[in-house]
Amino acid sequence: MKEFLIGLIFLIGVAVLTGIGFLILPLFLLLAFFLRIILAVLLVILGIWLLGKFIVFVWEALFKGKA
């Protein structure tokens, strides 16, 4: 009888965790979507910053001796 009760508790626990995971799935999908957008924006900002650094570097290299 003890083994039956342990098996039943285990199955109930698995069912509860499966239900929670099923309910949290849309949240994970939404978080992944926003994370993709945030990473894309950060990469664009990084690219603009690196472009500016490169332009300043080239500008200083070209006009260093002419000042």
With 0.75 as the threshold, say if the pTM is over it. Answer: no
44's tokens: 């664009």
Q: Nearest-CA neighbor of 40 among 52, 32, 50, 51?
A: 32
pLDDT confidence tier of residue 54, bands split at 50, 70 and 90: very high
Q: How far apart are CA 16 and CA 24, in angstroms?
A: 12
28's tokens: 């994970």
Q: Is the pLDDT of residue 66 over 90?
A: no
Question: Rounded mean pLDDT of 23-29?
Answer: 91
Question: Rounded mean pLDDT of 46-56?
Answer: 96
Q: Is the pLDDT of residue 67 over 60?
A: no
